[in-house]
Amino acid sequence: MIVLPDQKFNPNFQDIILSSTKLAPGVSLAKFLGTKGNPCSLTTVPKYQNDQTERKQLARNLYLHAELFRSVNGNTDMFKDVRLIVTEGVYRGGPIETVAGDNLTKQEGRLVVYKVVGEDGKIDYERTFDLAVFWKDYMNYDKLSLEYDMWNPNGVLNAQIAVETPKVPESFDVSFGGKVQTNFNGSLLSADELTEVLEDV
């Protein structure tokens, strides 16, 4: 299908792509940089240091993720009391690391992991599930994974949404896989469906 980007935010029309480049209202490329545990900027990822062609490709890929933000920010009926936070965005990689697998997909701006937090700054589990279902039904993606785990030392349930998108060419003619799944502690909990995991699991 051909995605029709908002012309105001189409990376193809930008001469120079910077961290401040807007991809949607209130959403700049910087939103996907410098996440906790992997601080980075365009200048700390070698492929993006001096290559505007690579930066444009990154921006096109992230445009689809900026649309996910727009679907939340513009939906005051369902999501006015929560915030969407990027917990894993563009991956920098170590000085001698060969970036591959999911980390390469993150570095390309195709895989982003999100957390939904309430007004108290804590994960809103119910809205996390609601948003995953909303995205499943209304947004475009290759794979949407609802991720739960109990790895936190204090035993608190963690909930995130991982969204993988395809590479976006200049034409914005993109094929989407539309696969969904739910994982718990890194293992598949349910294939082809989203399953809600409760706090007292």
Distance, in Å, from the CA atom of 199 to the CA atom of 201, rounded to the nearest integer, reads 6
Residue 100 inside a domain? The answer is no
**Residue 65 falls within a domain, yes or no?**
yes
Q: Is residue 112 part of a domain?
A: no
Look at the chain and count its residues. 201
- Can you give the residue range of the structural domain that contains 65? 7-93+117-191
189 CB burial (10 A radius; 0-12, 13-18, 19+): middle
Alpha-carbon separation of residue 21 from 32, 75, 156 (angstroms)? 12, 23, 36
pLDDT beyond 90 at 18: yes
Q: How much is the pLDDT for 157?
A: 94
Domains identified in the chain, total number: 1
- Residue 38: per-residue pLDDT: 74
Which pLDDT does position 95 carry in this prediction? Answer: 83
Average pLDDT over residues 148-158: 90
- H-state helical runs in 74-176: 76-79, 101-107, 125-138
Mean pLDDT of 81-92: 93
Q: Is residue 24 part of a domain?
A: yes
Most confident of 38-42, 58-62, 69-73, 117-121: 58-62
- Give 200's pLDDT tier (boundaries 50, 70, 90): low
For residue 13, tell me if it sits in a domain. yes
Flag whether 106 is in a domain.
no
| Average pLDDT of span 75-94 | 89
Average of per-residue pLDDT across 50-59: 96
Per 3-state DSSP, what percentage of the chain is helix, strand, and coil (rounded to 5)? 30, 25, 45
Sign of the Cα pseudo-torsion (59, 165, 140, 33, in order): negative
Q: Could you tell me the CA-to-CA distances from 165 to 40, 42, 50, 115, 117 in Å, in that order?
A: 21, 20, 25, 17, 23
pLDDT bin (cut points 50, 70, 90) of residue 153 is confident
Within-domain flag for 197 = no
- Between 95 and 4, name the one with better pLDDT: 4
Cα dihedral across residues 141, 178, 36, 115: positive or negative: positive
- Residue 87 above 80 pLDDT? yes
Chain-wide mean pLDDT for the chain?
92
pTM: 0.94
Domain-embedded: residue 108: no
User: In this predicted model, what pLDDT tens digit does every residue of 162-175 receive, in sequence order?
Assistant: 999 999 999 999 99
C-beta of residue 62 within 8 angstroms of C-beta of residue 30? no
